[in-house]
A and B are shown apart, each in its own frame.
Chain A
Amino acid sequence: MELNCKHVWAYISDYIDDSVPPELREEIERHLEHCEICSAILDSTRNILVLTGDDRTFELPVGYSERLHERLARELADETNAPTTG
């Protein structure tokens, strides 16, 4: 079966996550070899994912960690809140 571009687009996410069956993967790769459009879509999606996973893109509010641990310290100090097994 000859894959067309639309078929390939449907598998881009699974392809990136390496969760397509080996045979299909081969067909996709064969298509990518000669299709610049799909290659560009794949590359751009990958790059967006790299950027999404980058800590500098989504930052935590300043002081978040400090405030969290202060709250936890108060919680831990209160014996009535101690976790129980079971």
Chain B
Amino acid sequence: MATTERDEAGLIARILAGQKELFHELIRPYEGMVYMTVFSIVRNETDAEDCAQDTMVNAYRHLGKFRGEAKFSTWLATIAVNEGRQKLRKAKRAKEDSLDEPIEGDDQQITPAPLTDWREIPLEALERKELRETLRTAVAELPGIYRQIVTLRDLEELNVAETAAALHINENMVKVRLHRARMMLQKRLAPYLKTTARAKKEFWRRMPWN
């Protein structure tokens, strides 16, 4: 979603000066990011689409307040997170996602899963549709704070500072949660990446996690 060629400051100035139609062009590169961001919070397609639309509408209405200290994309992500959280509060969803709940598992170390004969696994394995579906499910089932981090950092490739700004947490927290989230995904996906699951039993018994 990098758009280094675009003069966004110029676009914004023209929109504010009355060329409103340019707003369509301004937001086009970020449609996906906004949708995935709100989806990671509200977790259903209908609400996510509503939230994504509301995010863009709000961004339009408040465009004059965008001062350019942050990147436009980060500003937009921040609005998206706020929209998503508002929606969630209204809907009073499942406990695990409540923003006020203590964070489950935040203090626990996630141990990655060992893989046997990893080197035999061809890259084509990554092309398997089944693996994509499993990954989608695995991300969807992560606790909210981890799902949001993964979405911003690894799906939408915001950097650590941008992710921290959008989620209103510090950069260290982003790194800590991202690590746990990635390890959870590795653990979950490992069985699908193995070729010979039960090999070398003796070998594994000597490993540090046993």
Binding site for A on B (CB under 8 A): 15-16, 20-21, 23-24, 27, 31-32, 35-36, 45, 49, 52-53, 56-57, 60-65, 109, 111-115, 118-119, 123, 126, 131-132, 135-136, 139, 150, 154-155, 157, 160, 175, 178-179, 182-183, 185-186, 189-190, 193, 207-209
Contacts and interface: CB of A to CB of B under 8 A. Distances in A.
Interface secondary structure of B, over-half rule: helix
Interface residues of A, number: 49
Interface in A30-76: 36-37, 39-41, 43-45, 47-58, 60-61, 64-65, 67-69, 71-73, 75-76
Q: Top 8 A-B pairs ranked by shortest CB distance?
A: A40-B118, A13-B179, A83-B63, A85-B64, A40-B115, A52-B154, A41-B112, A76-B20
A49 B131 CA distance: 12
Contact of A65 (B31, B57, B185): B31
A33 B209 CA distance: 20
Contacts of B154: 49, 52-53
